[in-house]
Structures are given as C-alpha cells and as structure tokens.
Amino acid sequence: MDKLWAMKVFVRVMECGSLSRAAESLDLANATVTSSLRNLEKHLGTTLVQRNSRHLHLTEEGRLFLPRCQEILRDVARAEAEITSHSAGVSGMLRVEAPFAIGQNLLCPALIELTRRHPGLSVSVTLTNSPNNMIERATDIAIRMDSIEDADLVARPIYEARYLVCGTPLMAQSLRTGSPRDLDPAHCLGLFSEGNHSPNPWVFTQGDDEVVIRPRGPLLFNNTESLIQAALQDVGLIYVLDLFVADYIKQGKLVELFPEWRTTKRTFHAVTVKSRFAAPRVRTFIDFLLEIFDARRRPNVTMIVPIGSNRKKKKSH
C-alpha cells in the first residue's frame, strides 16, 4: 500500500466531507477512494471514519491521525518543491478560479506571458461569478472580492480598486456636470448583480456630503465588459472599478468625472486553502498577479489575511 497516497485520500475525504466529492476532486472512481480508505484503516488496525449514507464522522483515532497526515503531506510537498525548483523550475498544472470581469479583462490576456516565462507550467482557468468550493474542485488559487467567510481558506490582498464614473470625451462634454448631484439618471448605464435586475447604486461622498444615483439609462448589464463597450459607443456614463477602464482612460477613449469625490472601494484577494503547502507555482502566480496590477493601487501585500478576521462589509446605500 502507498501510505502517502492513502493519507492524501483520507485527508481529501475529510476536507470534502464526502467520499464521492473527494473522488471527483481527485479525478478517481468512487470505488477507488472507498478502497483506499478501507486499506488504510486495515493497515492501522482501527476505524478512522464512521460513515453512513449522509454523513462522515471522524473517530477519536481519526481526529488524532488527520492533522498528522496534513502535516506530513505538507512536508513532503515542501521537500519536493525545493528539489524541483532547483532542477526544473516552475512546472505542473495550476488550477485557477476568477470572476468573469477580472478573467476577461486582465487575467486571461496576461497568462500568455506567464506561460512563456515558465514553459513547464499549465494553467487551467475557471471563470465564474458564483465561487466554488476550492477543496472539492481541487482549485489551487482563486481571486475573490471583499470578505471571504471560510475558516479553511487564507486570503492575501492583491489589489484595492475604487469605482469611478467615466464616459467618452464627447459624452462628458455634452453633459456639462460639475457635481454628481447634477447627473441625470437617464444618462447612467447600470450594472446589476447575479439574480438581481435592479442596477447597483452609484455612491459618492465628499466630507459629510453624500450623493446616491440610481441609474435609469437605456441599457443595463450584469457584465462589466458589455457596460464599457456601450460607454465607448456614447450610449451613456458608467460607474465601474478603475482597473477595468484604466487603459481606456490612458488612451483618451474615456475620461473620468468627479475625481475629487470618494466612491466605494473593493478589495481583491488571492485565496488559497489553508491546509495545503503553497507550491512554487502558486507563489509564482501570486507574484505575477501583483506584477500585472503593479501600476494600480493596492493594499499592503506583505500581509496574510486569515479568513474570518476581515472587517464587516459596509452597508449598501
């Protein structure tokens, strides 16, 4: 019996809370996972997991054995990484999850450069606005926004973005607005969240002064790129995170309005599974994220943020 492999299967079963989900995560047949767990228990001469049709429960022996297995697997991964980093460089499969807007606008175009630098690296990207269970999906790293309430994950802040209002130079000149309060909602294109067709409000603050605009323009989208393309066609103004329009503003295709007013901020995090050793390819990917966002504002990236300690979200207006 391959003891290390059996330990890995045992750990993944308990991380996923299900034999079938562990099998899917490891790309194995259910019977293979069940057999591996039984063989490990037979080798140890004890039951590690009590199981029925709905739930898995660790026995006392299982509770003692699980953290030791996790520690051993991390040590083995660390030792392998030290050797391969000297011989073959960064290599292997990296599974990444990201929101559609980040993936389409920034991440996916930049990955070409990453794979050129590291020919042995393969990157599998899943774009979704509904975050998956990272353990069950065997995801190495995910890009998430704001607070992540999961004690099994660790988040590292990589970028702090703020919303801004922008439009084409022609549109901006035609409106002649000096304050957000002057905005006509009929000229404001809306962005709405999944499952909610009411557009997100535009919130501005300056000292104690607050202005809230609720878009009533001719077009509403749940996709940032579609919103930007409509703005480029002089359909109206948009309220989007700065990183998505920074290049258009530099090129003069869009201009920012009301830069002296404060708007809502969102923080992007690189999220990993706490119990796993961060392989060199994961650390390389995080460094690459910081590099492609380097020209933009971001929080203190030397800080590792344990999930659950994030400050509470601000109330929506």
| pLDDT of amino acid 229 | 95
Three-point CA angle 255, 203, 253, nearest 5°: 10
pLDDT tens sequence across 24-40: 888 888 888 888 999 89
pLDDT tens sequence across 192-250: 987 777 899 999 999 899 999 999 999 999 889 999 999 999 999 999 999 999 889 99
Between CA 107 and CA 92 the distance in angstroms is 19
Q: Are residues 243 and 136 in the same domain?
A: yes
Q: Are residues 205 and 287 in the same domain?
A: yes
CATH number at residue 307: 3.40.190.290
| pLDDT of amino acid 303 | 38
* Residue where a domain terminates, one of 86, 110, 125: 86
Going by pLDDT thresholds of 50, 70 and 90, the confidence category of residue 187 is very high
Between CA 275 and CA 8 the distance in angstroms is 12
Q: Are residues 226 and 162 in the same domain?
A: yes
* Residue where a domain terminates, one of 86, 103, 118: 86
pLDDT tens sequence across 70-83: 888 888 877 776 66
Domain with 152 in it: 90-317
Tokens of 243: 């990183």
Q: Are residues 107 and 207 in the same domain?
A: yes
Q: Are residues 132 and 56 in the same domain?
A: no
Instruction: Domain count for the chain, please give it.
Output: 2
pLDDT over threshold 50, residue 313: no
pLDDT tens sequence across 47-64: 999 887 678 889 999 889
| pLDDT of amino acid 85 | 57
Q: Are residues 103 and 146 in the same domain?
A: yes
Q: Are residues 270 and 147 in the same domain?
A: yes
The sign of the dihedral angle between the CA atoms of 77, 83, 86, 92 is negative
pLDDT tens sequence across 133-159: 888 888 999 999 877 767 778 888 888
Q: Are residues 288 and 189 in the same domain?
A: yes
Which residues 6+ apart lie within 8 Å of 18 measured at CB? 56
3-state SS assignment for residue 98: strand
Return the half-sphere exposure (C-beta side, CA atoms, 13 A cut-off) of residue 75.
8
* Residue where a domain terminates, one of 66, 86, 106: 86
Mean pLDDT of 98-102: 90
Which residues 6+ apart lie within 8 Å of 199 measured at CB? 190, 191, 192, 214, 215, 220
Q: Are residues 60 and 135 in the same domain?
A: no
CATH number at residue 50: 1.10.10.10
Element (DSSP H or E) covering residue 270:
strand 265-273
